[in-house]
Amino acid sequence: MNATAAPIRRQIHPPPVPPSPFPYNPGSMLSVQDLNLEAVGYLLSRATELEGMDPLVRDRILLKRRIALLFYESSTRTRTSFELAAKALGADTTLVSSLSSSIEKGESLKDTGLTLRALGAEAIILRHNSSGAPWLLEQCTHLPVLNAGDGMHEHPTQALLDLRTILQRLRHGADQVDAGTLAGVTITIVGDILHSRVARSNMLLLPRLGAEVLVCGPTQLLPEVTATMGPGIRIERDFDAALRRSQVVMMLRIQAERLAGLQLDLEEYKADYQLTGQRLASLAPEAVVMHPGPIIRGLEVTAGVADGPQSAILDQVSNGVAIRMAVVERALLAQEGRV
């Protein structure tokens, strides 16, 4: 055997994933419950700083760092804003969606995650139809994972951008928050509470700032058991009564893709829970109207309300980019101890 013929082997693959305790990565954001109020305040103020920064300075922050977007469900706002946010910081992004990748051929979430890691991804933004999928992905890859919506469970960055929108409208854009920041504010979340990860993340966040959250909807979409979801949250089935008390009304889409055979009389639903111009003008003429999108005009809200002066729906969309810049930056810099 000729010993000199053996090539020097350089390690070109990432090292195997070592076992480690939870939480695997300090940059991950899997749930709003991962964030204390100090962290929420940090992200809100960092979003404002990043938004106001010279784009040519800002894009040095994550210059050429690699971020993967892994989307198993459709998305317009969340996907685009995460991508624009990462690019605004100078990162390279790549999108893997279930319809044009080996996921279609049956590749597992674990193997897809490990593949992205081997390709050099330093963080993964995941949307998945199964609740809990981001935890699994983080466990398999140990990369920072940002939950962009997991099944019927959580959508933490949506809750942060919703909070930023509420603070802009009701608290002059304050970005330092504490347990009394939203004291005296009643926020009604209306519609398909059962299937909504947006409702869940907001219900886990807003009462911690002192808001009263009313959840409102028919029993099929808001079972009685949901009443035990936490302090500061109450069921109010009478939409008109809820509206009378609300400074903010957050409308939800009926999640047709998750109804699983559940029958709903849409005419009855509209009569009881549609936000119409007349309802709004007579019961909550000052309230801020929110909706995470996509809106189904003529079902949960009328077109007039969606486009009207009380609507903050497009502000929510814009706030998505600012908040996601702060969250993406934290994803990569937290593990280096830099934020």
Q: Which is nearer to ligand ASP, 75 or 310 (CB)?
A: 75
Q: Report the nearest approach of ligand ASP to the CB of residue 212 (Å).
A: 23
Query: C-alpha distances in angstroms, 226 versus 270, 298, 335?
Result: 22, 27, 36
* 149 contributes a contact to ligand ASP by CB under 6 A: yes
Q: Which residues in 70-129 contact ligand ASP (CB under 6 A)?
A: none
Conformation bin of residue 110: beta by default, left when phi > 0, alpha when psi is -120 to 50: alpha
Nearest to 121 by CA among 104, 142, 101, 143: 143
Residue in 30, 167, 198, 249 binding ligand ASP, rule: CB under 6 A: 198
* 191 contributes a contact to ligand ASP by CB under 6 A: no
Residue in 144, 156, 217, 293 binding ligand ASP, rule: CB under 6 A: 293
Q: Which is nearer to ligand ASP, 104 or 257 (CB)?
A: 257
Q: For residue 185, what are the contacts with CB-CB under 8 A and spacing of at least 6? A: 166, 170, 210, 211, 212, 247, 248
Q: Which is nearer to ligand ASP, 145 or 198 (CB)?
A: 198
* 306 contributes a contact to ligand ASP by CB under 6 A: no
Query: C-alpha distances in angstroms, 42 versus 45, 155, 160, 301, 336?
Result: 5, 19, 11, 34, 17
Q: Report the nearest approach of ligand ASP to the CB of residue 219 (Å).
A: 20
Q: Which is nearer to ligand ASP, 197 or 208 (CB)?
A: 197
* 197 contributes a contact to ligand ASP by CB under 6 A: yes
Residue in 79, 117, 155, 324 binding ligand ASP, rule: CB under 6 A: 155
3-class SS at 240?
A: helix
Q: Which is nearer to ligand ASP, 79 or 330 (CB)?
A: 79
| Beta strand pairing call for 212-216 and 186-190 | parallel
Q: d(Cα 124, Cα 28) in Å, to the nearest integer?
A: 9
Q: Report the nearest approach of ligand ASP to the CB of residue 105 (Å).
A: 25
* Dihedral of the alpha carbons of 112, 117, 123, 124, in degrees to the nearest 10: 0
Q: Which is nearer to ligand ASP, 296 or 333 (CB)?
A: 296
* 153 contributes a contact to ligand ASP by CB under 6 A: no
Q: Which is nearer to ligand ASP, 114 or 161 (CB)?
A: 161
Q: d(Cα 271, Cα 281) in Å, to the nearest integer?
A: 16
Q: Report the nearest approach of ligand ASP to the CB of residue 293 (Å).
A: 6
With 0-12 / 13-18 / 19 or more C-beta atoms within 10 angstroms meaning exposed / middle / buried, residue 138 is buried
* 189 contributes a contact to ligand ASP by CB under 6 A: no
Q: Which is nearer to ligand ASP, 171 or 258 (CB)?
A: 258
Q: Report the nearest approach of ligand ASP to the CB of residue 252 (Å).
A: 6
* Residues 226-265 as x/- pattern, contact with ligand ASP by CB under 6 A: ---------------------------x------------
Q: d(Cα 268, Cα 10) in Å, to the nearest integer?
A: 67
- The answer to whether the CB of 204 falls within 8 A of the CB of 162 is no
Q: Report the nearest approach of ligand ASP to the CB of residue 316 (Å).
A: 10
Identify each DSSP E strand in the chain by its residue range: 66-71, 92-97, 123-128, 145-150, 186-190, 212-216, 233-235, 248-251, 288-290
> How many of the chain's residues bind ligand ASP (CB under 6 A)?
7
- The answer to whether the CB of 51 falls within 8 A of the CB of 325 is yes
Q: Which residues bind ligand ASP (CB under 6 A)?
A: 149, 155, 197-198, 253, 292-293
